């Protein structure tokens, strides 16, 4: 039975394209970015992204619109800045006297790396998949994309959009789960960008180390919120609950717990409970004046049943605390 990596031919095609030098051209980079911009500006495409995200994460269109705007902004910024980013600049090294006289000809010349791999994540499956790709294109690289299998509708749309709008000899998408990403990570890339958990980061870096491939990792963490006794507690509670309900709390800069001055702890708890009820509404509350109109479904769902059960288990654990609102 053959043990050849099924994705090696895809990578080989990207390497051939990069070696041809076509992606180093500023004209190629700009035209490719302009093509990518159509993916997020043509009305039919925008609705497809919103529908796919809702299929994966529930809720309404609010967070999806935010994701799309982020990618659009990055593309526009890259198009406006590309000439400056790609230009030669003085190295700033050597004899200062010669630099002043204009005799030092040593320069820094931005140079693309080759073929990059971007591993997307499920919590923001649009912008965290494409923002690194925008950077890779602007730098003159070919791109290999692996969207998260936990957001399958969006992952499939990533595959379809890339195939329709971007040159196939410079962009490849692989969809699937553990077997697929295992084979992808066995390949030799020139740079890897990944957003995910520390657990995922360790897996990626282990695979990358075999080829000495540099990585850019954006990994989740724990974020405390500090509230002292001088704070406007109601305002603080409103802001924290709004942040916590964004994307159902499924984002890396979300607050995880509150550290509050003991003298105002009870009052702070009451403000948070009130904010939760006001912002989320009661179980049967359909009045937008008293809470979020659930018919609009702007609040996302937890991504899958496993994570729902994980959160339920946290509520059921006895650590000497008290559930104040559920």
And the tokens for 187?
A: 């390949």
Edge-to-edge strands, sheet with 215-219: 171-173, 142-146, 115-119, 191-196, 215-219
Rounded to an integer, what distance in angstroms lies between the CA atom of residue 276 and that of residue 324? Answer: 11
Of 13, 149, 234, 252, which is the active-site residue? 252
Is-catalytic flag, 252? Answer: yes
Backbone angles phi, psi at 145, to 5 degrees: -115, 135
Backbone angles phi, psi at 127, to 5 degrees: -75, -35
Neighbouring CB atoms inside 10 A of 190's CB total: 18
Q: Which residues contact 155 (CB under 8 A, 6 or more apart)?
A: 120, 125, 147, 148, 149, 175
Rounded to an integer, what distance in angstroms lies between the CA atom of residue 79 and that of residue 82? Answer: 5
Handedness of CA 16, 18, 19, 25 (dihedral sign): positive
Query: Tell me, what DSSP letter sits at residue 61?
Result: S
- 113: helix, strand or coil: coil
Of 164, 218, 324, 325, which is the active-site residue? 218
Residues recognised as catalytic = 218, 252
């Amino acid at each position: 039975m053959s043990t050849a990596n099924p994705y090696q031919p895809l990578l080989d095609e990207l390497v051939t394209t990069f070696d041809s030098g076509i992606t180093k051209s500023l004209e190629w980079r700009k035209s490719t970015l302009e093509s990518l911009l159509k993916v997020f500006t043509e009305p039919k495409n925008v609705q497809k992204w919103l529908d796919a995200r809702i299929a994966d994460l529930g809720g309404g269109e609010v967070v999806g619109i935010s994701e799309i705007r982020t990618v659009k902004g990055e593309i526009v910024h890259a198009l406006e800045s590309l000439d400056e980013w790609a230009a030669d600049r003085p190295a700033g090294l050597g004899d200062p006297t010669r630099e002043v006289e204009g005799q030092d000809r040593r320069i820094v010349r931005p140079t693309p790396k080759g073929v990059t791999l971007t591993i997307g994540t499920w919590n923001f499956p649009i912008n965290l998949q494409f923002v690194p790709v925008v950077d890779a294109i602007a730098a003159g690289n070919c791109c290999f994309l692996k969207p998260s299998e936990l957001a399958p509708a969006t992952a499939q749309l990533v595959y379809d959009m890339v195939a329709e709008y971007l040159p196939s000899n410079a962009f490849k998408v692989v969809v699937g789960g553990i077997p697929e990403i295992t084979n992808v990570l066995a390949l030799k890339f020139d740079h890897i960008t990944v957003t995910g958990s520390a657990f995922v980061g360790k897996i990626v870096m282990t695979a990358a180390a075999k080829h000495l491939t540099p990585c850019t990792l954006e990994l989740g963490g724990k974020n405390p919120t500090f509230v002292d006794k001088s704070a406007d507690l109601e305002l603080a509670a409103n802001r924290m609950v709004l942040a916590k309900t964004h994307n159902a709390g499924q984002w890396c800069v979300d607050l995880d717990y509150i550290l509050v001055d003991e003298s105002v702890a009870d009052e702070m708890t009451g403000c948070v409970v009130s904010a939760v009820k006001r912002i989320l509404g009661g179980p049967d509350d359909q009045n937008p004046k008293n809470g979020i109109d659930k018919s609009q479904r702007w609040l996302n769902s937890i991504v899958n049943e496993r994570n729902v059960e994980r959160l339920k288990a946290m509520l059921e654990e006895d650590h000497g605390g008290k559930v104040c609102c559920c």
